[in-house]
Amino acid sequence: MIKRQPITRRTALRVMGAGVAGMALAPHWARGDARDAILKPIPPTGEEIPVIGLGTWRTFNVGDDERAYPPLVQVVEAFFDEGGGMIDCSPMYGSAHNVLQYSFEQLGRPDTLFSADKIWTREGRRTRAQFREIADWWGVETFDLMQVHNLVAWEPHLETLREMKAEGEVRYIGITTSHGRRHADLARIMETEDDIDFVQLTYNITHPEVERRLLPLAEEKGIAVIANRPYDGGSLVRRLKQDAPLPEWADEVDCHDWPQFLLKWIVSHPAVTCAIPATSRVEHLRENMDAGRGRLPDAEQRNRMGEYVRAL
């Protein structure tokens, strides 16, 4: 069993160089299925990102034994092969950072990568220290997005992240929660803090609660939305795949399986920027990425999709 260490600055530069070389060896990344990928704009800037990203919570938290890592490297490779953008991680996710570090060592980093991570500590003074620790795992100097995880010590962390954004260490800042009672707190933060770029929250076809207040608020305030737990932790997609037929009319919105159906329903909401399904399996990753291509349902079709699933 090998305990991996964070990448040092010098190693980071070497690995980044290897990544560029690796990309030369893997021209499919440059060619990119990204050409077909549905993109959505991040409201504050208009920068566009693919609507399907990659979560890492339980699926990449596999302990310190590196023998568990290669299958997950294949998942990361397939993600980029399919034109993937956002990868979301957190210090809360155990060895997920080790797996990402190992993956980037093997694969390099394509320029489509949109790095999203989180500050997760009750110590409000540790924002910069934890940021540096996370940056070392990724082997980067700056992040695309840094979020305050689950509203923990959100005031001091947000304040420091604002400074770090002004200093160019992070391009976007955000705040996350999942479902449940913190929604009211998140709404208050979105109403009072004027410079939040992203919120991350739980939104799926069986948990549409955020449609009442948080999604309209995000639209009104011009805040990007990341939908986490798109499969309700996995139970939803597993149950539907096992027990339920797709409706015949699913073809109308280019849904040929349940993962496409569930993810297209989420990312077609006008307020949602992207969804971040997590998986440990390449075949599932490819199914998920297929949801980011083809037609998306309109409002009427979304209603029909929701009613169909809720009636099962």
Ligand X SMILES: NC(=O)c1ccc[n+]([C@@H]2O[C@H](COP(=O)([O-])OP(=O)(O)OC[C@H]3O[C@@H](n4cnc5c(N)ncnc54)[C@H](OP(=O)(O)O)[C@@H]3O)[C@@H](O)[C@H]2O)c1
Q: Give 87's contacts (C-beta < 8 A, 6+ positions apart).
A: 53, 54, 56, 76, 79, 100, 113, 114, 115, 116
Q: Minimum distance between the CB of residue 89 and ligand X, rounded to whole angstroms? A: 7
The least CB distance from residue 16 to ligand X, in Å, is: 24
Residue 50 Cβ, how far from ligand X at the closest point, in Å? Answer: 15
Compute the least distance from the CB of residue 25 to ligand X, in Å. 28
C-alpha separations of 116 from 35, 54, 87, 119, 148 in Å: 22, 10, 6, 11, 11
* Backbone φ/ψ region at 201: left (φ over 0), alpha (ψ -120 to 50), beta: beta
Amino acid at 21: A
Beta bridge partners of 99: none
Task: Give the H or E element holding residue 227.
Answer: strand 224-228
Residue nearest to ligand X (CB): 55
Instruction: Count CB-CB contacts under 10 A for residue 308.
Output: 17
- Supply the Cα-derived Rg of the chain in whole angstroms: 19
The DSSP 8-state label assigned to residue 78 in this structure reads: H
State the nearest-atom distance from the C-beta of 9 to ligand X, in Å: 26
Please identify, using beta-carbon distances, which residue of 236 and 253 lies nearer to ligand X: 236
The Cβ of residue 123 has, within 10 Å, a number of other Cβ atoms equal to: 12
Contact set with ligand X (CB under 6 A): 55-59, 88, 149-150, 176-178, 200, 228-234, 237-238, 259, 276-281, 284, 287-288
Q: Which is nearer to ligand X, 23 or 78 (CB)?
A: 78
Minimum CB distance to ligand X, residue 60 (Å)? 8
- Which residue lies nearer to ligand X by CB, 142 or 150? 150
Shortest Å distance, C-beta 238 to ligand X:
6
CA of residue 274 relative to chain centroid, distance: 7
User: Nearer Cβ to ligand X, position 23 or 74?
Assistant: 74
Looking at the Cβ atoms of 23 and 147, the one nearer to ligand X is 147
Among residues 288 and 301, whose Cβ is nearest to ligand X?
Answer: 288
Query: Which residue number, 23 or 186, has a Cβ lying nearer to ligand X?
Result: 186
Q: What angle do CA 190, 195, 196 make, to 5 degrees?
A: 55
